[in-house]
Structures are given as structure tokens and as C-alpha cells.
Amino acid sequence: MRTVDGEEFRWRLRVYYEDTDAGGIVYYANYLKFFERCRTEWLRALDLDPTRLLRETGVQFVVREAACEFRRPARLDDALVATARVARVGGASLTFAQQLWRDAGAAGAPALLAEAKIRVACVDARNLAPAPLPKTLAAALRRRDAPA
């Protein structure tokens, strides 16, 4: 489930009433919450949860761009898997390629529900000015990139 040093990180989610709307499906903005939970758990798997990052390095991540395609609706009680893959590493930003899948279940094969490209910038938490990626994170990304 948690492949940190692999290419793709996966995180399981469940759809609750809070996520849905009167159209009977998950409200479109809430897919972005699911994607963010997955990115946060990716960081946590690197031992860099947001609180620790802030305390130790004074930075936080803010989203600069989000482009999302909604292919099939997620529904109440669906078991989902969100994925995150670092598609691009900049000096002060990361771009994630993310997907949301409905889990294979009694209902059959897994289905791709949504895809997104999300660019997050690393900023100084005091003034939101751009800040270089924390060294531990940059090192972890290099390690992952190196031949095994």
C-alpha cells in the first residue's frame, strides 16, 4: 500500500456523506481533498509530515496549479485509491501526477475516476515567499531517482 521509494504512492479512501452532494455523487472540489490526503501521506511516509516540516524547516507547501479531469463519478460508500507520482522536481516546487480509482470489489474491475496534475510550491511559512525544497526531501527524491 505504501510504496515510498517506488514510482507511485497509493492511499486508500472511503466516500462518506460529507463528500457527496445532492446530485448523488462526490462534489467536485472534494476530489482535490482526496488528492491532497494522498500527497500528505506520501510526505508522511518520507517522515516529513507537514507539522514536522514546518517545525524543522519553517516551510509549507501551497498549491499553485491544479488541473483535474473528472471521468466517472465517485459515489457514497465507494472504496477509492488515490495515487501520487512526482512528475517534476523544481528548485522550489514539485509537480504531482495523481489519479483516483474506484477499488476493484464485488462490482468488478477497478475504474479510473479522475486524473490531476498538481503543482505545489515550497514557501516560507512566515511570509509565503518561495523557499527551496527542504534538503531531506530533495535527498529523498534523488535517492528514489537513482538506479537501484
Least separation, in Å, of the C-beta of 101 and a copy of itself? 18
- Residues 6-25 contacting a copy of itself, CB under 8 A: 14, 16-18, 20-25
Q: Is 124 a catalytic residue?
A: no
The neighbour count for residue 123, using CB atoms within 10 Å, is: 19
Measured in whole angstroms, how far is the alpha carbon of residue 51 from the centre of its chain? Answer: 16
- Residues 93-132 contacting a copy of itself, CB under 8 A: 125, 128
Catalytic residue of the set 5, 21, 47, 124: 21
Instruction: Report yes or no: 95 and 84 within 8 Å, Cβ to Cβ.
Output: no
Strands (E), the chain: 9-14, 59-70, 79-89, 93-102, 111-124
DSSP state for residue 17 in the 8-state scheme: G
Enzyme catalytic residues:
21
- Binding residues for a copy of itself, per CB under 8 A? 14, 16-18, 20-25, 27-30, 32-33, 36-37, 40, 44, 49-52, 60, 62-70, 73, 75-77, 125, 128
